[in-house]
């Protein structure tokens, strides 16, 4: 089997050819620094502002609420640190299954003595315990920031962003949601969503790597996280990633235009994969709430641990199949997944995350399932 099968789209997606085409002029002849006042610079500045308007329109936000960053990690760091340092939040509420961009940031603030830290309880199906969240908010005398992801990158569970936002409103808390797995995959209406900060990353929906957004609600005033020049309306210093910004906006436009068709195709792949695994592999189970409130792009499957299955990722790789054991952002360290530990701490299972894009097919699933049968 020489053809490579790529089932790790929650880690990153291939750049769409049309997106690359939109970026090309800014990689070649339209190279002016957006801060320069001559025509080359003005041309670049216009491209960035048009991209900002396009992103804002799609998310139903105001262009002044959209800031371009280097990606989801920078966006989350900025929002969480600003909530503590600029918005007076002395208590952070998060969950044990967040992305490390959130977990390491809140732990750092806690260890530096800048804020207290609480973790909301998890339900057995991997959703957060809303009653526990309300208790944490109600019992806190100081202002809180709640940072909870919209969709989990490893198991796919989706949080009710409106319900959490309303709770935060009730207790006057700041609400940041890591929406890296959902921007570009779900429609957003930020005008009517009670949230202060959300994040996005271009490479999760066939855009370029190294570019993301931070939405900052217009009623929130924070200081810059990165010091230097006056770029991004004095909010993010550093010469803008011009072609990245153009690519981000183009990828988001395309994802939005094709949402109905692409999401239906990917949903079908997800349920097909689950059916085929159940049919052919004894003892397979699925993590989280895959048939309930869940991301249509992700299947987290656990297999019985055997001598053969322990090497499952390695063997998939040898067979030109790309999947991950959890979150790809930490694939270099074999510490196991903190998400799986938090919801399904079964040492007798081996977990693999398969995540799909519009470019995947049922034939690829058939090939992967037949390989898995040999391996387990």
Active site residues: 329
The angle formed by the CA atoms of residues 305, 95 and 132, to the nearest 5 degrees, is 115
101, 109, 127, 231 from 104: Cα distances, Å: 6, 9, 21, 27
At 56 the three-state DSSP class reads: helix
Report yes or no: 328 and 10 within 8 Å, Cβ to Cβ.
yes
Alpha-carbon span 235 to 232, nearest angstrom: 5
Provide the β-strand partners of residue 174. Answer: 145
Alpha-carbon span 38 to 204, nearest angstrom: 35
Write the DSSP string, 76-127: HHHHHHHHHHTS---EEEE-TTS-HHHHHHHHHHHHTTS-EEEE--B-TTS-
Which residue, among 330, 286, 341, 300, has the nearest Cα to 154 in the 3D structure? 300
Q: What is the largest CA-CA distance in the chain?
A: 67
What's the gap between Cα 113 and its chain centre?
A: 28
Exposure string of 41-64, with b = 16+ CB inside 10 Å and e = fewer, is eebbbebbeebbebbbbbbebbee
Write the DSSP string, 154-195: TT-BB--HHHHHHHHHHTT-EEEE--TTTBTTB---GGGS--
Which residue, among 71, 34, 61, has the nearest Cα to 49 in the 3D structure? 34
For 355, half-sphere exposure in the C-beta direction (CA atoms, 13 angstrom radius) is 26
Alpha-carbon span 331 to 151, nearest angstrom: 20
């Amino acid at each position: 089997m020489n053809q490579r099968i790529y089932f790790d789209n929650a880690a990153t997606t291939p750049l769409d050819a049309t997106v690359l085409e939109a970026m090309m002029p800014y990689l070649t002849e339209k190279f002016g620094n957006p801060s320069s006042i001559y025509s080359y610079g003005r041309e670049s500045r216009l491209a960035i502002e048009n991209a900002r308007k396009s992103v804002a329109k799609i998310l139903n936000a105001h262009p002044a609420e959209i800031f371009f960053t280097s990606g989801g990690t920078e966006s989350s760091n900025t929002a969480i640190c600003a909530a503590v340092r600029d918005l007076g939040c002395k208590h952070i509420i998060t969950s044990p299954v967040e992305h490390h961009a959130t977990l390491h940031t809140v732990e750092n603030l806690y260890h530096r003595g800048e804020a207290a830290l609480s973790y909301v309880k998890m339900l057995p199906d991997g959703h957060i315990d809303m009653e526990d969240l309300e208790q944490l908010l109600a019992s806190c005398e100081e202002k809180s920031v709640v940072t909870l992801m919209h969709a989990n990158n490893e198991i796919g569970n989706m949080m009710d962003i409106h319900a959490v936002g309303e709770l935060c409103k009730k207790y006057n808390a700041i609400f940041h949601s890591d929406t890296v797995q959902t921007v570009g995959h779900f429609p957003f209406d930020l005008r009517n969503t009670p949230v202060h900060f959300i994040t996005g990353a271009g490479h999760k929906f066939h855009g370029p790597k190294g570019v993301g957004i931070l939405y900052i609600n217009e009623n929130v005033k924070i200081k810059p996280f990165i010091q230097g020049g006056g770029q991004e309306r004095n909010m993010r210093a550093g010469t803008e990633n011009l072609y990245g910004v153009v690519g981000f906006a183009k990828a988001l436009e395309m994802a939005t235009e094709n949402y109905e068709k692409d999401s239906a195709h990917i949903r079908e792949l997800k349920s097909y994969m689950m059916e085929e695994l159940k049919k052919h592999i004894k003892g397979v189970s699925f993590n989280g709430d895959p048939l309930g409130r869940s991301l249509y792009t992700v299947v987290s499957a656990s297999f019985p641990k055997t001598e053969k299955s322990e090497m499952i990722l390695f063997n998939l790789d040898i067979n030109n199949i790309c999947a991950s054991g959890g979150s790809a952002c930490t694939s270099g360290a074999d510490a196991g997944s903190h998400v799986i530990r938090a919801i399904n701490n079964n040492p007798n299972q081996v977990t693999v995350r398969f995540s799909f894009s519009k470019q995947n097919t049922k034939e690829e699933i058939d090939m992967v399932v037949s390989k898995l049968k040999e391996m387990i």
